[in-house]
């Protein structure tokens, strides 16, 4: 084979590799994003009156919650617990992370209202509080850039495989006594946070208040490291540096379940 033919063959091979690599990059970083499988719904909390506040909450069931009337029967009635469910229209889950874009420092914020969960509260004895599984639909996270959204969903979080980010509480500390309407409380919720296929223990710092007997509001915050979840940032032009720490926050409004 002549040198000319060898050069042509090598050039074709390199072009094929470039096309395959380009298609991979497009599909996994800039390709279409998988749509949510459906509206997110809360996993109903199963009340266990024997559990102290610092122990893990009871196992949850997969039943669909009923339509609203404040719950006052069964275990809830006996324990004084009232179930509150996160209102998606009034709540928001978000992350924030440092980034250097085109040489300029920037705090990237991604958010979604697709957050669901339940909490059971005895307003006469906050030590009995129990928190159920909290879920966030990662396919609905949005930032200020469509390209970044695609990179986050298709490459970093792989939301086509792992649609939900899940927090499963194991202990609550810092709550006690009687709750008065409008009074604020600061406490901690420890648990297991699952992102993609990796689960790590985290502690959320929570500030909450009961605005009324049927409405709770508050904010829960924690900081995690990208490396703990193997969240690798793709090589993207103009992005020189991305922070290691990610702040996770949930601003929540929870309303008493009626049924």
pLDDT (0 to 100) of residue 2: 61
């490396």: which residue's tokens? Answer: 227
Domains, the chain, with CATH or none:
31-256 (2.40.128.110)
Name residues whose C-beta falls within 8 Å of residue 11's C-beta, 6 or more positions apart in sequence. Answer: none
pLDDT (0 to 100) of residue 18: 43
pLDDT (0 to 100) of residue 12: 56
Q: Pinpoint the alpha helices (H) of 118-242.
A: 146-150
pLDDT single digits (tens) 240-259: 688 999 999 999 999 999 86
Calpha distance 233→141 (Å, rounded): 16
CB atoms within 10 A of CB 67: 7
Q: How far is CA 187 from CA 51, 80, 111, 134, in A?
A: 18, 21, 24, 17
pLDDT (0 to 100) of residue 238: 66
Opening angle at CA 167, ends 163 and 168, nearest 5:
125
What's the average pLDDT block by block, 10 residues per block, for the chain (259 residues)?
55 47 45 88 83 41 35 51 96 96 89 98 92 98 94 95 97 90 92 98 96 94 97 77 95 92
The Cβ-side half-sphere exposure at 110, using a 13 Å CA radius, reads 25
Short-list 259, 257, 14, 220, CA closest to 119: 257
pLDDT (0 to 100) of residue 46: 77
How many Å is the maximal CA-CA distance in the chain? 90
CB atoms within 10 A of CB 74: 11
Calpha distance 204→188 (Å, rounded): 6
Q: What is the sign of the dihedral through the CA atoms of 42, 89, 152 and 94?
A: negative
Short-list 130, 127, 122, CA closest to 169: 130
pLDDT (0 to 100) of residue 235: 77
């Amino acid at each position: 084979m002549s040198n000319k033919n060898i050069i042509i063959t090598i050039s074709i091979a390199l072009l094929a590799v470039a096309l395959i690599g380009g298609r991979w990059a497009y599909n996994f970083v800039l390709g279409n994003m998988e749509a949510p499988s459906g509206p997110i719904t809360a996993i109903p909390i199963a009340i266990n009156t024997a559990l102290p506040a610092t122990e893990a909450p009871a196992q949850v069931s997969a039943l669909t919650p009923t339509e609203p009337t404040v719950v006052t029967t069964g275990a809830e009635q006996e324990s004084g617990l009232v179930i509150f469910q996160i209102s998606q229209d009034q709540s928001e889950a978000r992350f924030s992370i440092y980034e250097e874009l085109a040489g300029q420092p920037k705090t990237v914020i991604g958010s979604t209202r697709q957050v669901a969960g339940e909490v059971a509260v005895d307003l006469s004895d906050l030590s009995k509080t129990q928190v159920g599984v909290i879920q966030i639909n990662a396919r609905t996270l949005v930032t200020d850039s469509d390209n970044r959204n695609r990179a986050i969903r298709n490459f970093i979080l792989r939301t086509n495989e792992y649609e939900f980010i899940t927090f499963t509480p194991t202990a609550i500390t810092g709550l006690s006594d009687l709750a008065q309407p409008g009074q604020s409380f600061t406490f901690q919720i420890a648990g297991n946070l699952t992102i993609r296929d990796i689960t790590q223990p985290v502690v959320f710092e929570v500030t909450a208040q009961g605005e009324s007997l049927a409405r709770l509001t508050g904010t829960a915050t924690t900081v995690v490291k990208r490396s703990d979840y193997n969240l690798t940032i793709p090589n993207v032009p103009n992005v020189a540096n991305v922070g290691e720490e990610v702040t996770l926050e949930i601003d929540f409004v929870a309303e008493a379940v009626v049924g």
